[in-house]
Amino acid sequence: MDALLQLNAVSQAYAGKPVIDNMSFQLAEGEIACLLGSSGCGKTTVLRCIAGFEPLRGGDIRLNGERIAAPGYNKPAHLRAVGMVFQDYALFPHLDVAANVGFGLRGLGDGERKARIGLMLEVVGLSALAGAYPHELSGGQQQRVALARALAPRPRLLLLDEPFSNLDVDLRQRLSHEVRGILKEQGMTAIMVTHDQQEAFAMADKVGVMHHGHLQQWASPYQLYHEPASRYVADFIGQGAFVPAVISGPQCVTLEVGEYCSLTPLAYQVGAQVDVLLRPDDVVHDDHSELTAVVKGKVFMGSEFMYTLQLPSGQQVLAQVPSHHNHAIGEAIGIRLELDHLIAFAR
């Protein structure tokens, strides 16, 4: 698949302070990506550079093979065929829903413009609210109007800046799935910025984890979780605990609870001291196991408990356990490890 969007060694700085440092990635047509990271990591600045709101200090950005940004050159934002959905939706309060959606439709005849507005409202499920005003809409409805307005001019690329951050948790989860469905149905290529991992995983084909202006890893959600490229990504994505181990073979490690082997070779010499990442789904409750751990904490999550368990050495790990296994704090329970993905980093 050819890349629709390419960032090649992109750098940007404010007042001489680097905000994006030597960032490169590419996105194929029809793919949805998320830039994920904590506040201040530079993810929104990346979006603004792609949109044309910020000049580059280094590298270049290409859209459909055309260079749209480089040091000393910045193709005007309105000529880039890039749509944007802002964090606060930026709807015009004095315009009704239909007029908001049609705001960017220039150069069309009245009939064509009306048809395009009608189609976009149908796509986002708001046909019945064409005559309503923004203040009469819920947060989720406003978000849909902003999406319809961004899609209406048929952009090559859509940018979404924390589009669900003003909504409650349940609505965020539902809308992230719905918006992904709409974008896929429209064949839209999109990049979203978020600090919410679940949102990124629900929306994206590719996720870029950012930290202090650096792109730590660009991969599928599955790869980020099971094959993190750095200790930072391993720590940032999901939950888990690092436990000490020793490399005991080309594909094996020995932990305090036994030897475990990977399907692929480990990049360490035999005898090297490493830390192995244990995810909650690696630690399986098993009443028949001779290996036991003591329950030190528990969080009820409906269909499951998240247990904090203490191994014989005092090392603590997390375990996801179906909620009909309701064990008391201080109780010893049988466990076994299922390390299908063995993730190790130098101690």
Q: What is the pLDDT of residues 49-66, one digit of tens each?
A: 999 999 999 999 999 999
User: Closest Cα to residue 345, out of 270, 267, 269, 281?
Assistant: 267
Residue 103 is inside which H or E element, if any?
none
Overall residue count recorded for the chain in this entry: 347
| Helix (H/G/I), strand (E/B), else coil: 143 | helix
| Helix (H/G/I), strand (E/B), else coil: 188 | coil
Query: With 80 as the cut, is the pLDDT of residue 1 above it?
Result: no
Long-range contact pairs involving 316-319 (C-beta distance under 8 Å, separation at least 24): 316/241, 317/241, 317/243, 317/278, 317/283, 317/293, 318/239, 318/240, 318/241, 318/278, 318/279, 318/280, 318/283, 319/280, 319/283, 319/284, 319/285, 319/293
Residue 104 has a pLDDT of 87
CA distance 92 to 101: 10
Q: With 0-12 CB in 10 A as exposed, 13-18 as middle and 19+ as buried, what is 33?
A: buried
User: Closest Cα to residue 210, out of 223, 222, 195, 199?
Assistant: 195
109-151 tens-digit pLDDT: 899 999 999 999 999 999 999 999 999 999 999 999 999 999 9
Residue 170 has a pLDDT of 85
155 CB neighbour count, 10 Å cutoff? 18
CA distance 165 to 186: 23
Residue 171: pLDDT band (50, 70, 90) is confident
CA distance 252 to 240: 20
> Strand pairing partners for 260?
253
Both structure tokens of 178: 């719905």
Residue 168 has a pLDDT of 87
214-231 tens-digit pLDDT: 999 999 999 999 999 999
**All residues at 6 or more sequence positions from 258 whose CB lies less than 8 Å from its CB, including other chains:** 291, 337
Q: With 0-12 CB in 10 A as exposed, 13-18 as middle and 19+ as buried, what is 151?
A: buried
Query: With 80 as the cut, is the pLDDT of residue 78 above it?
Result: yes
Both structure tokens of 97: 């829903």
Query: With 90 as the cut, is the pLDDT of residue 279 above it?
Result: yes
Q: Which domains, and CATH codes, for the chain?
A: 1-233 (3.40.50.300), 238-344 (2.40.50.140)
**Cβ atoms 120, 145 nearer than 8 A:** no
